Amino acid sequence: MLLPRVEMLPLGDGDIDEMVAIENCIFPHPWTRGNFVDSIASGYSAWGCRVAGELVGYFVLMVAVDEAHLLNISVAGKRQRMGFGARLLEWAMSTARQAGASSLLLEVRPSNRGALALYRRFGFRQIGLRRGYYPAAEGREDALVLRCELARFLA
């Protein structure tokens, strides 16, 4: 049996509809079309994972001097827990390193246990807390600020 081909490809304006569709299915407070348009227009690195042509996940990464910030990483609901998040995270870390970053920062909801486990597996450690950072069903939810030293992980 032939397995479908998995490709990591840069994303642009033509991919935004697919990214927005995934966001709207998996998040109660998704990124808007404008968030994606602005990120791509600003030159942030956007990459997607495609399986047999289908976008199954993506990330948006901002690099500033020697530090990168993972702004968004998402995997389509039906494709979660299949290793695509790990594949995307590893690609994001490698992309950041190639752009000259020595560390990668991100924010994550404390309630997102699956993402937290993935980030910890990749060497991310909590360095801060942003109170009331995320909109939530009832008010706001804090964000844990995590960092990974890329040289340590990608040596």
Give the lowest-confidence range in 3-12, 33-42, 103-112.
3-12
How large is the average pLDDT for residues 54-80? 95
Is residue 54 pLDDT above 70, yes or no? Answer: yes
Cα dihedral across residues 35, 37, 42, 48: positive or negative: positive
Q: Which residue, 105, 110, 142, 112, is CA-closest to 127? A: 105
CA distance 21 to 72: 14
> Could you give the residue numbers annotated as active site?
107, 119
Length of the chain counted residue by residue:
155
CA dihedral 9→69→144→11, nearest 10 degrees, is -20
Structural domains of the chain in order of their starting residue, each with its CATH number: 6-154 (3.40.630.30)
Percent of the chain with pLDDT over 90: 83
